[in-house]
Structure 1
Amino acid sequence: MFSVPLLRSHATVGLVDRDRLQLYHANRSVILVSSAIDFSGGDGLDKFIAIIIAFRHLSLKQNGILDTLAKTNGELVKKSGIPRNNKVVQEGNELQLPGNEPEETFTVTLGDVISRDPATIGRSTVVLKATSDRWPKNKLVIKISWPGSGRVPETDFLKKAYAEAEKTDGQWATKHLPRVFYAKDVVFEKDSTLESVASLFTDAKFAKRGYVYERRTLRIIIQEQLVPIKSLSNTRDICQVFTDIACTHRWLHDCPGILHRDLSKNNIMCRYIEEMNALGEREQQVYGVLTDYDLSSWTKDLKTDYTRTSEQRTGTPPYMAQELLKGTSTTHLYRHDVESLFYIMLLMCGRHTFGHVKERAGKETKRQVVMREGNRPYEDWFDAPSYALLGKNKSSFFLDIEDIELSPAFEDFRTWLQSLQIAFSKGFTLKSVDVVQRREQEYNGSSACEVASFDDETLGGCIHYSSLINPIRRLTGELKGLIIRYDPAQVPLPTSTSAVHPDA
């Protein structure tokens, strides 16, 4: 119901069980459940008929269909059939968006779905290909999501990042940031259904204390269309993109003071830029681009008493740090993102190979990353029934130093991945020893602090930028000689950045 049509603020459905009806009203924050109506006797049938009549008289807006933004939404919702391929369910749908001047509007025509990420509850991020007469020469994507209203807008982070990127040597960092053409937050009036539902939670009493209704904002962002990492055709380009992401991620942390907090395969993209090579010839060079700053935070706000600005865990479970999955850490640290990057590389290199895929628009085939056939490693990471169990599986992977399973096509990555696995294994072991020592001290009744303070931010000094980057210098074969674009030792850290550990 939330996918067709795309721009829908809420939906109401009915569950019929023999002679009873129960209504469910859902928006991006909560599901309200009515008491059951028995329409087999008494006044139940009258109530049932009244409900049917009432729903028939609701406007599109009251049904949650935002037809003021999408003129074709009304027609789309009336279609009885839904295409089997959910990648083209919005193809041809048009959005009418307000411009910079009053009364100015422009049209965006939607194309294929690039990604749909339901992992973070409520956010419901959808990215689609798009075209617009406003930018006729650019390939576009439109990103539509419902982040928590209390979160810093993604564009605020990007504005700060671009301002700092223009100061870098040769403006290198600008090549690794997404280019935004348009951003719009949709404001809902006080008499809207969303606001009416939110008002129900004002001074409400709950069986479980501590519940807070989380308001959400409809955010629309139009960006340049980038190239997904899975479309690359060789391991060297893929490893260069991962290296770029590692460099850019740390640069964002050190200079603009941004921690991404949502590294996943879908957020690692790339672009090609034509440049001169060593022979003086022009050729396309690949650059990794880190996208999707919806869940990012300013590093100065990441203190030990940090309170989540969202009621839900942030991230995509297979790529999330094990401590965040288990709930043993409430502060999102730089090393948690490093752990996520490790999982992204591990899962890509273990579960994929190269193959030839036919392009949808024509008959030509293109070499790119494809899933391996047969039993794929780490399948239980995708099938885990709970966050806690997935966290325990990942913990065992490090503490037991389980063998790294790689596809033959990605064997050259083994040195980098093993180095990171060992670093995390050592760090988590040191942290476990620290916990044991502190509990032993408490058991013995010692009042003095006899155990040295453990550096949790770097897992006892085991995880930092150099532990991520230095193994790249030792790669061999096709991965030898990759470009490392950021060295903190050569860049003065801003005095306003807190919780930063310089890595020489």
Structure 2
Amino acid sequence: MQILGPSCIPLYRVLCDQNFETAFRSLIQGTLIPFVFTHPLNLSSVVVHHMLYKSAGILHCNLNTSSLMVSKDSLTCGILLDLDFALQVQDGDEALLPEPTLSGTLPFLSMDLLTTTGPPPPRLYRHDLESFFYILGWMLCRYDASGECKLQHQFAVWHRGPLDDIISAKWRFMRVPSHIPSERSSPSLQKWLRNLCRIFNTGYQEKDRDLQNPLFNHETLGGYVTFDRFMGAARQMTS
């Protein structure tokens, strides 16, 4: 995908905590940013994640630290890049069934997709939300206060594997640590991440308990992982 637009920098390089929080929320929640670009789905603007899904039925499917950027001219304005692996799963009221794929960046893939048994599951909106969750933790814990990558960090196994070890490491990450090992000074960022840990941990626990229940809502992990719940965790930052 080729994108022409204002110059941008990676989100993790935004050192002001308040700007970082605002930009991260904007990437999930939705803002239209005029661009000129080419894409097989023939959209006319770069749209941040939720609006992209709601307006065109498109999932990003490859969220990572390189796809979450901000404008150099406005550090609170998130820019979502790299739609090469995007899938259209909805066309108006009609649900589409694109061929299942395991595309994505390994450290940030949903645990549902980290499987070697059977065909890959259909891609869901909550899979992208789970990627946002992992990216937030990665950015808070892997980069120092100057935006440089730490030599020692807790995420080495996430990109090294094997898959069973990655799943185990992500389960441990979700178990709501009392303190996030981050050099960012904002308590609200750590609270946001802890709230998300609770949401995803509870959702996956419910899924495991209701494994044989045909009525379990897999699209939202029993209603725990939705756009509103994700953004609700962000709104609790000041509580």
TM-score by length of 2: 0.79
Counterpart Cα distance in 2 of 1:459 and 1:467: 12
Counterpart Cα distance in 1 of 2:141 and 2:97: 37
Residue from 258, 268, 274 that aligns with 2:68: 268
1:475 aligns with 2:237: yes
Q: Kindly tell me the number of residue pairs found equivalent between the two proteins.
A: 215
Matches for 1:204-219 after TM superposition, within 5 Å: none
What CA deviation, in whole Å up to 9, does each residue of 1:343-390 have, x standing for no partner? Answer: 1110110122223xxxxxxxxxxxxx11235x3222222332x23431
Counterpart Cα distance in 1 of 2:206 and 2:167: 18
1:326–1:391 contact (8 Å) kept in structure 2:
no
What CA deviation, in whole Å up to 9, does each residue of 1:271-322 have, x standing for no partner? Answer: 144xxxxxxxxxx5630011111111112279696523x6xx2111111111
1:253 aligns with 2:46: no
1:377 aligns with 2:145: no
Matches for 1:58-69 after TM superposition, within 5 Å: none
Counterpart Cα distance in 1 of 2:168 and 2:81: 29
Q: Please report how far the alpha carbon of residue 260 of structure 1 lies from its aligned counterpart in structure 2 after TM superposition.
A: 0.9
Letter in 1 for 2:112: E
Give secondary structure in 2 for the equivalent of 1:287.
strand
Aligned residue number for residue 288 of structure 1: 78
Counterpart Cα distance in 1 of 2:69 and 2:97: 33
Give secondary structure in 1 for the equivalent of 2:56.
coil
Judging changes above 3 Å, is the alpha-carbon distance between structure 1 residues 396 and 305 closer, same or farther for their aligned structure 2 residues? farther
Q: Please report how far the alpha carbon of residue 253 of structure 1 lies from its aligned counterpart in structure 2 after TM superposition.
A: 0.8
1:397 aligns with 2:197: no
Judging changes above 3 Å, is the alpha-carbon distance between structure 1 residues 382 and 411 closer, same or farther for their aligned structure 2 residues? farther
Counterpart Cα distance in 1 of 2:50 and 2:129: 9
Give secondary structure in 2 for the equivalent of 1:263.
coil
Counterpart Cα distance in 2 of 1:372 and 1:456: 36
Residue from 418, 421, 436 that aligns with 2:194: 418
What CA deviation, in whole Å up to 9, does each residue of 1:88-141 have, x standing for no partner? Answer: xxxxxxxxxxxxxxxxxxxxxxxxxxxxxxxxxxxxxxxxxxxxxxxxxxxxxx
Aligned residue number for residue 136 of structure 2: 345
1:223 aligns with 2:1: no
Matches for 1:164-203 after TM superposition, within 5 Å: none
Judging changes above 3 Å, is the alpha-carbon distance between structure 1 residues 404 and 265 closer, same or farther for their aligned structure 2 residues? farther
Counterpart Cα distance in 2 of 1:258 and 1:410: 35
Judging changes above 3 Å, is the alpha-carbon distance between structure 1 residues 327 and 428 closer, same or farther for their aligned structure 2 residues? farther
Judging changes above 3 Å, is the alpha-carbon distance between structure 1 residues 421 and 229 closer, same or farther for their aligned structure 2 residues? same
Q: Please report how far the alpha carbon of residue 458 of structure 1 lies from its aligned counterpart in structure 2 after TM superposition.
A: 0.3
1:408 aligns with 2:183: yes
1:322–1:392 contact (8 Å) kept in structure 2:
no
Q: Which has the higher contact order (CA 8 A, sep 6+)?
A: 2
Residue from 362, 371, 387 that aligns with 2:163: 387
1:428 aligns with 2:190: no
Residue from 105, 109, 116 that aligns with 1:320: 109
Aligned residue number for residue 99 of structure 2: 307
Judge which range, 403-412 or 425-434, deviates more. Answer: 403-412
Largest Rg, 1 or 2: 1
TM-score by length of 1: 0.39
Counterpart Cα distance in 2 of 1:234 and 1:320: 27
1:257–1:299 contact (8 Å) kept in structure 2:
yes
1:240 aligns with 2:22: yes
Q: Please report how far the alpha carbon of residue 395 of structure 1 lies from its aligned counterpart in structure 2 after TM superposition.
A: 3.3
Greater helix proportion: 2
Q: Please report how far the alpha carbon of residue 241 of structure 1 lies from its aligned counterpart in structure 2 after TM superposition.
A: 1.2
Aligned residue number for residue 34 of structure 2: none
Q: Please report how far the alpha carbon of residue 325 of structure 1 lies from its aligned counterpart in structure 2 after TM superposition.
A: 1.4
Aligned residue number for residue 225 of structure 2: 463
What CA deviation, in whole Å up to 9, does each residue of 1:384-426 have, x standing for no partner? Answer: 2x2343133323433x555663213255211111111111111
Letter in 1 for 2:156: E
Aligned residue number for residue 44 of structure 2: none
Q: Please report how far the alpha carbon of residue 232 of structure 1 lies from its aligned counterpart in structure 2 after TM superposition.
A: 1.9
2:157–2:165 contact (8 Å) kept in structure 1:
no
Unpaired segments of 5 or more residues in structure 2?
Answer: 31-48
Give the percent of matched residue pairs that are identical in Structure 1 and Structure 2: 25
Counterpart Cα distance in 1 of 2:3 and 2:98: 31
Aligned residue number for residue 42 of structure 2: none
